[in-house]
Structure 1
Amino acid sequence: MKKNIIIASILGGIALVCAALIACVNMFTSEMIAKNNAKTELETCQAIFNEYDADKSEQIEVSSETITKKVLAKDASGNELGYLYTVTGKNSYGAITLMVAIKDDTVYQVEFLENGQSFASTVVSHVKENYPSSKDEVIYPFIKPADTPAVGALDEATVAGIDTVCGATYGAVLVKDLVNTALADAKGGN
């Protein structure tokens, strides 16, 4: 009995030390991670709309689980460029966060902010084949995506017709749902 108490207290001490180490690492890295995420988001906004000015753009309040952020993108002169939606969805294979640009009631561009799918490279290839995108981030070099559709070429009917049958069908369906959510909000909210 005494031996079990000693073993339990040693294991408890190890658990406390590990928890303290994890808390310290989190304390030091959480701010850096937040800054990197903000930087990535800003760079993505500027990649979508070259003239994007974060100071002139307006963040619009949203009440949706899927739409985490909606921004009316503007240039330095205050001219409207379009809407930038940050949309997040999750399925049994992981989470996906996209930035969807809507301009003139069409999907202007789609970019990944986070791709946590277990078949991530297949989902990226599917998106590159079916949605306008500026990034050439294919995780596995032997998967060569088709030509990217023209920027601003996807209207609601075209998005509805995208075939989601691929090596990562659930991820492709999730991407399509996220894009449709942003497009529907833009059509209803403008």
Structure 2
Amino acid sequence: MSIDVEGQQFIAAYEVAAAEAAAWTQVRDLRLWTAAQFCRHELGMSMRSTAAELGVSRSTLARSAWNERGTNPNTWDTMSDRAHEIDDEVLIRVGLGDYASPQARFDAGLISVFERDSLLDYHRRREMRIPDQIREAVEKYPGISNLDLPRMIVMAVPQGSVPDLRAHAEESQCTVDTDDRWWPAESISPN
């Protein structure tokens, strides 16, 4: 029994090309959907003018990006790892490295280890609920002041304002003393 090496190489090359094509399709679909939603909701454009602006046919736009099924079926989180890598490579090559993932930016030598870790931590906290972020910050820095706590929380607030997070104290299992310092709530046992 002999192994057809050339045939195996051809099959492997085909599978790699198919995976890259699928990754590029995911990237294209995500970008088309994002651009269409922006044109539709932010700019108030019609489907005809959006299709003309994006350079796609109306049928393609209607089929893939103009739907209102709640969310984009091809969200960034469901993209394959290879699609993420390709997107990062393209962003870095065209000089938009600031938009690439923290790991890709580090691999390309654009940021340091500390900056990569800080960005990864920021992205991790951004996915957490505010009470969970508060609890994590208070456990790390017991007695943190009400002025310093918002710097540890990732949330949207108007620039120059200090949000009052005391409404989240109970849900985050923390207490706030009279000096506006945050402490982990002690669990009181019935014994």
Same fold (TM over 0.5): no
| Higher Rg | 2
Q: Which has the higher helix share?
A: 2
TM-score with structure 2 setting the length? 0.28
Q: Which has the higher strand share?
A: 1
